[in-house]
Structure 1
Amino acid sequence: MTEKLKDPADLHVLLVGLGHYPGLQGAEAPGCLGDLMTWFELLVNQGLPDDRLWIAASIPAPPEGRELFDRTWVDIRHVHGLTSGDRRDGQGTLESLRATIDAFVASLPRKSRALVVWAGHGWTAADGSLHLATASSRWEDGSVCGAHYALADTMPWDELVQRLAARPRSTELAIVLDSCFAASGAA
């Protein structure tokens, strides 16, 4: 039997699962939404109150010929139902993610704990810096696969860290980053 969270009331969570990238042909990542669902179910089963859970997601439509009852797509439909309300972002664009992150940080009380889980595509710029793709990301040169491999409308790791640093100083923070090149972020 799994032990429940000792005091879930002081834990605040932002789950980001980005599976839909309209500007990046062939980059759909429905598994990221599966990650979001796994975290969501784990936290709710551990007693985390709904008012402490924020969700941001970009949700693809099922591919042609794919059964809607396939487990992955059932989860995605469930995620879609979770992305309505004050603490929900169903777009996953750079602009909507910035607003969601800022609102999440502004809601954090003093002496609490915060967990941010981000599942989605990661990319490194020419300077080696980590950038997290969003639903509004696209190749800068307008090509299908990025001749220069430069992306626009990404969330730079440094920007994410800066936005999260606006939390109360007494709020502890843990970040789980599930993306390619995640290790570049700490550099």
Structure 2
Amino acid sequence: MLGYFSPLDGYTLHITDLDPHSLSAGGGLEDVNLVKKYEISEEDYLKREDNFRAWKEAKKREDPSWSFAKEIKERQDAQRKKADPSFVPEPWKEVETSEESYKELAERIKVGDRCEVTLGGKRGEVRYVGKIPAIAAGWWVGVQYDEPVGKNDGSITSKLGRTSRFFECPPNYGGFLRPDKLLVGDYPERDIFDEEEEDE
């Protein structure tokens, strides 16, 4: 049905839901407090034999080096082995992050550099290069994106609830990445109108 209107890439669609019984009626998709949720007390949760914590503890008893990442890799390897019997999985290695992780890459990146995220192609400007203990050990790059595709405003809130500001930018324009997740160079801000003209 949408194809009838022949929308092109970059178009903005405005849709009005006229169904009074729809899930979105009365703000059901905007205000999560309106959505009825299943709730269980901590005590009742722990009584269940199939609770997540019990499963995780059982996995740790079987293999003290167990982790979610290791579990996922083993399952993926099993699927690949099933599809291709000649597949030989690499042994599991835990990725170690120390205070100096990614330092060599980070030293090549300067505040003010233009950059592009390798996965997704988001572009922006480097606003911070350094360590952020609130996230994890090692070196990080703070980016102000050209569009509101980020997760913060240049600040990070730790698990203890303390907020640390690393740079200023509008909400949802900031992000923090490892230095190996972006490229720096000649990545000018994209003009969506130029892209539309090229398509014609």
TM-score of the pair, normalised by structure 1: 0.22
Question: Max radius of gyration: which structure?
Answer: 2
Q: Which has the higher contact order (CA 8 A, sep 6+)?
A: 1
TM-score of the pair, normalised by structure 2: 0.21
